[in-house]
Amino acid sequence: MTTPKLQELGAAQAAALLQRRELKAEDLVRACLERVAARNDDIHAFTHVDAVSALAQARALDAGPVRGPLHGLPLGVKDLFDTTDLPTAYGSAVYAHHRPASDAASVTLCREAGAIVLGKTVTTEFAYFTPGPTVNPHNALHTPGGSSSGSAAAVADHMVPLALGTQTAGSIIRPAAYCGVVGYKPSLGRVVHAGVKSLSPTLDVIGGFGRHVEDTALLGAVLTGDLRLLENHVHGTLRIGLFPSPSWDQADADTQKAWEQATNALAKNSDRCQDLDLSRDFGELIQLQKDVMSYEMARSLSFERLRHREALSPALQALLDTGMAISGAQHAANLQRTADWRLRIDALFERHDVLLTPSTTGAAPEGLAATGDPLFCRSWSLLGLPAVHLPLMRNAKGLPVGLQLVGRMGEDHKLLAAARQIHDKLLF
């Protein structure tokens, strides 16, 4: 087996070497910067990189004590997060050259833990559907997904070992699936949202990307302060609920193949797999998520809607108009329906430890004018449950395909431990 290049090290592996002083932060940062210099003009994952500052921070870390669990790790930050030392445009010309007065809380926590912010990664316009310039690192004619397109692509292409992202509909799980990396969306409310452009308070979640489950667990432990996320042990036999969902007829042959191979492999490994029997009305969650998101985005982006409408894409304008047409009374009813469903779904986890379900309809679609369909993510985003995308295979075109695991609200540590165990069994 060949020794991986420094920029190819997983975050957890690199962190262990950095903690033991067997690897210098400056060497790792320099390797990542060289990769960015070689590839970013093709992939367009980063909107801005500050190499001078990153190297200076790395040298300071090498000269001082170990700072924390992310000591010396290069980090990509989605351009939806405020940063004082780098421009923050939220993927929109409205905020070109904008410099916030403070870092987002999540960025500050990562810096405090020793991470080195290499630069800002591309987001779609206000984290909605209008794409930025990022392409899929596996095939430049295909979308990387969205809205955390740059973060997923940067990790997949070995520019950084870790990157921050957000999800309101499918903006972590979908780009992780299309780019072939691990994406972790924590439980709703587990990560403080201060300093990240708010779209939908009911749905917005901060998470991130790595190349292995333990990488995202390391990042998640820093973001949440919950060290249980670093535990590997699963108690007893996993009880896995198999849920292709009511939208299964929209899954293509690649997703169906991944599903068949995964469920067969898990059954052979003596995991307790059981088909999940949910009533057909589970499908109503897709429209419910759309309505909650559009209502709240229309109001969260009121300044942009009223003062800079002409600078917004037609797709975003249409969403905001749709959201403004939903009454406050209807939104209140939608929130109550959401709360009812969250209680209803929680009961499933008395019988199942995790749920296995599709991440996307298939591999990354060809074309860069759209970011793909978050169909298989919308319901879980509405429910606020933690989710992890697991890359499993490549299709005939060499594009990644995988599935996601969903856990119980607040039990992210159990989900990540299960994801580590399951992923090892499912790499085919």
Tens of pLDDT, residue by residue over 88-125, are: 999 999 999 999 999 999 999 999 999 999 999 999 99
Tokens found for residue 98: 């904008």
Mean residue pLDDT of the chain comes to 96
Per-residue pLDDT, averaged over 308-314, amounts to 98
pLDDT for position 428: 54
Active site residue 5: no
> How many Cβ atoms from other residues are within 10 Å of residue 135's Cβ?
21
Q: How does residue 183 score in pLDDT terms, banded at 50, 70 and 90?
A: very high
What's the token pair of residue 224?
């949440």
pLDDT for the residue numbered 236: 86
The pLDDT, as a whole number, for residue 205 is: 98
Under DSSP, the state recorded for 2 is P
92, 106, 147, 359: the active-site residue = 147
Q: What is the pLDDT of residue 269?
A: 78
The question of whether 425 is a catalytic residue gets the answer no
Is the pLDDT at 2 greater than 70? The verdict is no
Query: Are 329 and 390 contacting, i.e. CB atoms less than 8 angstroms apart?
Result: no
Question: How much is the CA Rg of the chain, to the nearest whole Å?
Answer: 20
From the list 384, 381, 380, 383, the residue with the least C-alpha distance to 356 is 380
pLDDT cut 70: percent of the chain above it: 99
Give the DSSP H/E element, type plus range, for residue 300. helix 284-300
Q: Which two tokens stand for residue 20?
A: 């033991």
Query: Is 164 in a helix, a strand, or coil?
Result: strand
Q: Is 3.40.1390.10 the CATH number for 1-428?
A: no
Q: Give me the residue label for tokens 């170990």.
A: 66
How far is 378 from 385, CA to CA, in rounded Å?
Answer: 11
* pLDDT > 90: percent of the chain: 94
What is the C-alpha to C-alpha distance for residues 21 and 393, in angstroms, rounded to an integer? 35
Rounded CA gap, 327 and 277, in Å?
Answer: 34
Q: What are 387's strand-pairing partners? A: 185, 406
Residues contacting 171, CB < 8 A, separation 6+: 127, 145, 146, 147, 148, 165, 374
Give Cβ neighbours of residue 338 (< 8 Å, ≥ 6 apart): 202, 288, 292, 382, 383
Ordered by start, the domain boundaries in the chain are: 1-428
Per annotation, catalytic residue among 148, 149, 171, 381: 171
Q: What is the pLDDT of residues 211-227, one digit of tens each?
A: 999 999 999 999 999 99
Least confident of 36-50, 203-217, 255-269: 255-269
Distance of CA 346 to the CA centre of its chain: 23
Tens-place pLDDT, residues 67-87: 999 999 999 999 999 999 999
pLDDT, mean of residues 315-330: 98
Neighbour tally for 102: CB within 10 Å: 12
DSSP 19-60: HTTSS-HHHHHHHHHHHHHHHHHHH--EEEE-HHHHHHHHHH
pLDDT at 279 over 90: no
Average pLDDT for 386-396:
98
Is residue 171 annotated as part of the catalytic site, yes or no?
yes
Q: Does the pLDDT of residue 346 top 90, yes or no?
A: yes
Whose structure tokens read 């420094």?
6
- Coil, helix or strand at residue 226: coil
pLDDT at 1 over 60: no
pLDDT in tens, 349-383: 999 999 999 999 999 999 999 999 999 999 999 99
Q: Name which of 246, 245, 238, 248 is nearest 273 in CA terms.
A: 238
Place 425 in a pLDDT band, splitting at 50, 70 and 90: confident
Q: Say yes or no to pLDDT of 347 above 70.
A: yes
This prediction has a pTM of 0.98
For residue range 327-337, list pLDDT tens digits in order: 999 999 999 99
Find out whether the peptide bond into 92 is cis, omega within 30 degrees of 0.
no
* Structure tokens that stand for 360 in this block: 């996307």
Helix (H, G, I), strand (E, B) or coil at 96: coil
Average pLDDT (270-281) is: 82
Rounded distance, CA 290 to CA 298, Å?
Answer: 12
